[in-house]
Structure 1
Amino acid sequence: MTTTRIQLALNVDDIDEATTFYTRLFGVAPHKRRDGYANFVIADPPLKLVLIERPGAGGGLNHLGVEAQTPAQVDASLARFSEAGLPTRVARQDVCCNAEQHKVFVDAPDVPLGFWEFYAVTEDNPANPANPDGAPTSVCELTCAAGGDQTISCCG
């Protein structure tokens, strides 16, 4: 059986301080570390913890998600959401959080950014490429920008 885990993405004021703290708290080193970004794959409890450096906005929730192991799991979730009549947005090959992802966003009434993301990492890209015109490159960024705050991005 393939497993999934909850993703918790937090805004932090200082990525170095937060990375040190969560390394000590969960007893694991970061799975990925980039400028202003770190993520942890924690076995116990099963959690994908994402830290996004946002000086002045630390201590808040950035977004929530469910990390699946395969795109097929994401597609199965999408079928279930569609059958339940939930509003969704699909993003195949979305580049976000320093990785290429196959994902679906599910609109939610009481989540900070208005959605949950269900995703599987398909390629562990070293960085988010930028469009030459500066436009957002990911559905994640587009979704957050559509909320009216151009400075918000799910992934920093």
Structure 2
Amino acid sequence: MDLPAPVGVEVRWQTWSRLVRPSRESLALTAWSRTCDDQAEDSCAGDRQDEASPAPRVVFWYAFGMAQLVTRVSEQLLAEVDALVNAGAVASRSDAVRTALSALVDRRRRDRIGTAIAEGYRRMPQTDREVDWADAATVGMIAEEPW
């Protein structure tokens, strides 16, 4: 029996908290962000709340309901991605993948919208009167500019 591929995973905190009450041990699954001790001193001016304790950032719950993608890439592509990370263009390999996928999805969405707009004008072209009005309005706006 073929099952449909999952389209997405969404876990809301309220639902999750009713199903499983997290223990102290599970709450210990947190990721610590880089603290000022790990960074250059001047980049942390005013960021320190307490010199003795680093500021934890809990990211476990943030990522819990997100889908994870795993893929293989060539050594050459991996080297290029690592170069982007080292240059500071992206924060990590994962960030590079997220950025690229977001750009691809956005580009496809924009292409579909552009195609729909063009198809609408093909189905119902502008009349000469509409075009003449737009041209006259454009000429008028340009004439009003204080060049």
Q: Same fold (TM over 0.5)?
A: no
**TM-score normalised per structure 2:** 0.25
**Structure with bigger gyration radius:** 2
**Comparing both structures, which one devotes a greater share of its residues to helix?**
2
**Comparing both structures, which one devotes a greater share of its residues to strand?**
1
**TM-score normalised per structure 1:** 0.24
Q: Which has the higher contact order (CA 8 A, sep 6+)?
A: 1
